[in-house]
Amino acid sequence: MVHNPQIILGIDPGYGRVGYGLVRKEGSSISYIMAGCIETEKTEPHARRLHAIYKQLTSLIIQHAPHTLATEQLFFAKNTKTALRVAETRGILLLLGEEHHIPMREFTPLQVKVATCGYGKADKAHMQTMIMRIFKLASPPKPDDAADALAIALAAAYTRDTTLDL
C-alpha cells in the first residue's frame, strides 16, 4: 500500500516567541524536517509583533506546503493579559489555516504529552528526551518552544483526525 506523505506544521503559540516544528508522516514513519522559533521584539507595538508572526508563518506555509496545522489549546492562564495575547496569536493560526485551506487540529497539553511520551504528566526534560530519540537528534531543539512545537506536530501525526469522520 502506497502512503502519500503528509507534512504537519506544529505550532506552540506564544506572544514573544512562537515555536514551530515541521514533520513528515509517510505511513507509520515520521521524520523531522525542521524546527525553530519566531521571536518578536518587546519594544515593538503589539500589532507589529502580530504582523511579524503572521508574515513568518505565511512564509513557512508557502515554503513547506503543510497538509495540517497543529497547535496547543489555550485552556488556562494565570496572567490574563498574556492569555489574551496568546489567544490573538492563535487567531492568526486560524486565519492562516483558512487562507491556505489547511485543516487545523488542536491538542491539550495532556494529549501532547501522552502522544510524545506515553505519560500525561511528563516534564519538559522527558519531553525533550523523547523528541531527541524519536527524531534521532544529537540535542534537543532550542529554544524549548521549538521542541514543544515538534511535540504538538507529533501529536497530530500519531493521532487520527476524527473531525473528518462524519
Residue 162: strand, helix, or coil:
helix
> Which residues, 6+ apart, have CB-to-CB distance to 128 below 8 Å?
140, 144, 147
Average pLDDT value for residue range 147-163: 87
Residue 165: what pLDDT?
A: 40
Nearest 5°: the CA angle 91, 8, 122 is 85
Q: Domains of the chain: which residue ranges?
A: 6-157
Annotated active-site residue in 44, 88, 145, 165: 145
Answer yes or no: is pLDDT of 164 > 60. Answer: no
- Confidence band for 75, pLDDT divided at 50, 70 and 90: low
Answer yes or no: is pLDDT of 64 > 60. Answer: yes
Four-way CATH pick for 6-157: 3.30.420.10, 1.10.1200.10, 3.40.50.300, 2.60.40.1660: 3.30.420.10
Residue 166: what pLDDT?
A: 35
Answer yes or no: is pLDDT of 77 > 70. Answer: no
Residue 97: what pLDDT?
A: 96
Chain position carrying cell 497547535: 71
What's CA 157's distance to the chain center, in Å? 11
**Model pTM greater than 0.75?**
yes
Q: How confident is the model over 139-150, as pLDDT tens digits?
A: 988 889 999 999
- What burial class does residue 78 get, using C-beta atoms within 10 Å of its C-beta: 0-12 exposed, 13-18 middle, 19+ buried? exposed
CA dist., res. 20 & res. 96, Å (int): 14
- Residue type for position 100: H
- Residue 27 DSSP code: T
Annotated active-site residue in 41, 72, 148, 165: 72
Start-end of H helices in the chain: 46-64, 80-99, 109-117, 124-135, 144-158
CA dist., res. 70 & res. 58, Å (int): 15
Answer yes or no: is pLDDT of 52 > 50. Answer: yes
88 catalytic? Reply is no
Average pLDDT of the chain? Answer: 90
Residue 1: what pLDDT?
A: 55
Counting residues of the chain whose pLDDT is more than 90, the rounded percentage is 68
> Is 148 labelled a binding residue?
no
The answer to whether 36 and 161 are in contact (CB under 8 A) is no
Average pLDDT value for residue range 8-20: 94
- Confidence band for 120, pLDDT divided at 50, 70 and 90: confident
Nearest 5°: the CA angle 161, 127, 106 is 25
72 catalytic? Reply is yes
- Residue 71 DSSP code: E
